[in-house]
């Protein structure tokens, strides 16, 4: 999405910004740090702009600040977990981090780099144990709900929490213009074009031009196939995350169908 925003910025005359890459992602912030971050990085813009960052939902009203147009894109929770597992083991990931951070990057062992996700699950490796309501492993992408639940650590950090999922649903309904999915790219881009044309006019055209030029640029050729047995294990451990994902897809489809009805009222008959 960030690459697409760069292209759309030129086409639609806005500035596409993103946070500076840090050694660690700052997903949760205390209120004073959040306020400082907003004024230093978000609210200081004087022209139309977008800003991309991996961060949990911020309640702008609670901070007495003006609301932005919130959007997000999600992935199937199982795919998200497996993708992250292999992405952080991919050669280019470590090459890119070394280029940015130099000797501060400590290379992991060959054994860790060659770890297989199926074996990791089967052997109950601590990296692949998804304990319900756990409060740790915040950085391994098992909590997609956290990014919509918000900055409330007590309610939003427990893994696969019903409370976190319900908070996430509420925030999505009330505060997000569009939440798309990478599994429904065409539908997502169609809705973005219609709901936020100032920034996303021509999004489908530019995306497919970019994809034709770059190929399947998100595909990790080093990723082995995950067994059906392991997928079943993950499904049992990600029930709330899967429900949130299905909720997001349903909302996206409703937005898309509404657009089709507006284009052709005969469909209402």
In a domain, 58, yes or no: no
**How much is the pLDDT for 254?**
96
Mind telling me the catalytic residues?
54
In a domain, 238, yes or no: yes
Length of the chain: 269
In a domain, 31, yes or no: no
**How much is the pLDDT for 230?**
97
In a domain, 118, yes or no: yes
* pLDDT bucket at 221, cuts 50 / 70 / 90: low
**How much is the pLDDT for 139?**
74
Number of structural domains in the chain: 1
**How much is the pLDDT for 218?**
56
Distance separating alpha carbons of residues 131 and 127, to the nearest angstrom: 11
Of the candidates 93, 74, 75, the one whose C-alpha atom is nearest the C-alpha of residue 222 is 93
pLDDT at 222 over 80: no
The percentage of the chain sitting over the pLDDT mark of 70, rounded to a whole number, equals 95
Per the listing, tokens 């209402």 go with: 268
In a domain, 18, yes or no: no
**How much is the pLDDT for 217?**
55
pLDDT digits (tens, 9 = 90+) for 163-211: 999 999 999 999 999 999 999 999 999 999 999 999 999 999 999 999 8
* pLDDT bucket at 24, cuts 50 / 70 / 90: confident
In a domain, 19, yes or no: no
Please give the distance of CA 160 from its chain centroid, rounded to a whole number. Answer: 17
Of the candidates 123, 187, 133, 137, the one whose C-alpha atom is nearest the C-alpha of residue 160 is 133
Of residues 227 and 218, more confidently modeled: 227
The CATH number of the domain holding residue 241 is 3.40.50.300
**How much is the pLDDT for 190?**
97
Rounded mean pLDDT of the chain? 92
pLDDT at 220 over 70: no
The percentage of the chain sitting over the pLDDT mark of 90, rounded to a whole number, equals 72
pLDDT digits (tens, 9 = 90+) for 6-18: 999 999 999 999 9
Burial class (CB in 10 A: 0-12, 13-18, 19+), 82: buried
In a domain, 8, yes or no: no
The reported pTM is 0.91
Instruction: Indicate the DSSP class of residue 130.
Output: -
pLDDT digits (tens, 9 = 90+) for 98-131: 888 888 889 899 999 999 999 999 999 999 999 9
In a domain, 15, yes or no: no
Name the residue range of residue 110's domain.
74-268
């Amino acid at each position: 999405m960030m690459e697409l925003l760069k292209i759309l910025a030129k086409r639609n005359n806005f500035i596409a910004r993103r946070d500076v890459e840090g050694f660690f992602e700052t997903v949760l912030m205390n209120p004073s740090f959040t306020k400082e971050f907003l004024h230093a990085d978000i609210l200081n813009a004087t022209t139309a702009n977008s800003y991309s960052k991996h961060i949990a939902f911020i309640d702008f009203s609670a901070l007495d600040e003006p609301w932005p147009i919130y959007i997000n894109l999600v992935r199937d929770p199982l795919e998200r977990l497996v993708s992250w597992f292999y992405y952080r083991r991919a050669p280019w990931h470590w090459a890119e981090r070394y280029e940015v951070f130099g000797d501060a990057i400590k290379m992991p062992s060959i054994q860790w780099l060659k770890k297989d996700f199926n074996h990791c699950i089967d052997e109950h490796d601590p990296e692949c144990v998804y304990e319900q309501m756990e409060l740790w492993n915040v950085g391994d992408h098992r909590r997609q709900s956290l990014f919509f639940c918000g900055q409330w650590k007590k309610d939003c950090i427990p893994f696969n929490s019903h409370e976190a999922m319900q908070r996430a649903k509420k925030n999505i309904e009330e505060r997000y213009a569009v939440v798309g999915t990478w599994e429904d790219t065409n539908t997502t881009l169609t809705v973005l074009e219609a709901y936020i044309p100032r920034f996303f006019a021509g999004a489908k055209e530019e995306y497919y031009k970019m994809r034709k030029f770059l190929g399947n640029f998100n595909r990790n050729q080093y990723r082995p196939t995950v067994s059906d047995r392991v997928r079943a294990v993950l499904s049992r451990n990600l029930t709330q995350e899967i429900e949130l994902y299905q909720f997001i897809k349903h909302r996206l489809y409703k937005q898309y169908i509404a657009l089709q009805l507006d284009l052709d009222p005969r469909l209402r008959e």
